[in-house]
């Protein structure tokens, strides 16, 4: 017989959640030298590595040889989602750097300098596993409220937000703390109670199971990753 905890979570489910988190941390370590570039224009028969080297050199003010030496691998992710293909959304481009120092130099440059290719502004992100992006999704109501009030915040790892409000530093790292903060300060900050199911506060959500095929799950995960990462504050400063 399965043993269940106070909230009805079995030991097997707890073990599975711990395993998922461990795998996500492993994935994070493997990707830590990567940078994800979104909306780089796609063209038939492209040499994506050469294109990235040329464009990065112009943007950074480096020699192409210097950029080439700082990059170990470049590839474009194929777009699986029918919805994204219909919109002609180009696949993200993953660039593996030779060191964390080089990666950080590029990310720092992106904070104050727009990266534009063929008139298209390119979005720049650290590589964050979908597991952690989903956990950050729970903080969406709070993050949007802070943005509307011009309050700067940073993401905590593996989850949470830290910011200063009323001369006090807050570090929100649980769903309980999200609700507690918004109940206390939400009205004066103009917090808008979400009207859509996906935007509700974590404690307001209801479990809703659905049966999906493997292909549908992959497409939904791709769209979810695109949506969650695009909601991040500061784009590159995700950790």
Encode pLDDT of 138-173 as tens digits: 898 899 999 999 999 988 878 899 999 999 999 999
Q: What is the pLDDT of residue 128?
A: 80
Encode pLDDT of 120-134 as tens digits: 999 998 888 888 888
Is 70 inside a domain boundary? yes
Q: What is the pLDDT of residue 235?
A: 41
Q: Find, among 140, 138, 136, the residue nearest to 157 by Cα.
A: 136
Q: Of 66, 96, 126, which closes a domain? A: 126
pTM: 0.64
Encode pLDDT of 28-81 as tens digits: 777 889 999 999 999 999 999 999 999 999 999 999 999 999 999 999 998 888
Residue 46 sits in a domain of what CATH number?
3.30.70.1820
97 & 169 share domain? no
Burial category of 143 from C-beta neighbours within 10 Å (exposed 0-12, middle 13-18, buried 19 and up): buried
Is 239 inside a domain boundary? no
146 & 111 share domain? no
186 & 101 share domain? no
Residue 165 sits in a domain of what CATH number?
3.30.250.20
Peptide bond into 210 cis (omega under 30): no
147 & 195 share domain? yes
90 & 141 share domain? no
Q: Find, among 193, 192, 112, the residue nearest to 149 by Cα.
A: 192
Split into its structural domains, the chain has a count of: 2
50 & 121 share domain? yes
In this model, does residue 231 exceed pLDDT 70? no
Q: Of 59, 91, 126, which closes a domain? A: 126
Q: Of 126, 160, 190, which closes a domain? A: 126
Q: What is the pLDDT of residue 2?
A: 47
86 & 57 share domain? yes
115 & 200 share domain? no
106 & 179 share domain? no
Q: Are 90 and 40 in contact (CB under 8 A)?
A: yes
110 & 139 share domain? no
**What are 28's two structure tokens?**
């994070």
CA dihedral over 206, 157, 221, 55, signed as positive or negative: positive
182 & 107 share domain? no
Is 90 inside a domain boundary? yes
Quickly count: other Cβ atoms within 10 Å of residue 101's Cβ: 10
Encode pLDDT of 183-211 as tens digits: 999 999 999 876 655 445 544 444 443 34
Domain that includes residue 101, residue range: 31-126
């Amino acid at each position: 017989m399965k043993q269940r905890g106070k909230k009805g979570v079995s030991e097997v489910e707890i073990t599975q959640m711990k395993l998922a988190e461990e795998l996500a941390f492993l994935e994070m370590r493997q990707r830590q030298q990567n940078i994800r570039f979104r909306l780089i224009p796609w063209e038939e028969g492209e040499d994506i590595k050469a294109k990235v080297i040329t464009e990065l050199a112009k943007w950074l003010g480096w020699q192409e040889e210097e950029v080439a030496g700082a990059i170990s691998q470049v590839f474009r992710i194929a777009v699986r989602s029918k919805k994204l293909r219909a919109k002609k959304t180009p696949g993200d481009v993953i660039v593996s750097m030779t060191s964390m120092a080089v990666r950080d130099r590029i990310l720092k440059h992106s904070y104050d300098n727009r990266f534009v290719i063929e008139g298209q502004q390119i979005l720049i992100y650290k590589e964050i596993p979908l597991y952690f992006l989903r956990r950050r999704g729970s903080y969406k109501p709070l993050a949007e409220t802070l943005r509307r009030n011009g309050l700067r915040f940073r993401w905590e790892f593996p989850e949470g937000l830290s910011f200063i409000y009323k001369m006090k530093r807050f570090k929100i790292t649980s769903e309980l703390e999200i609700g507690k903060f918004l109940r206390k300060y939400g009205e004066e900050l103009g917090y808008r109670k979400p009207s859509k199911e996906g935007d509700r506060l974590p404690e307001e959500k209801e479990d809703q199971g659905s049966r999906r095929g493997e292909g549908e799950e992959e497409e939904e995960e791709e769209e979810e990753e695109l949506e969650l990462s695009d909601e991040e504050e500061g784009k590159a400063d995700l950790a």
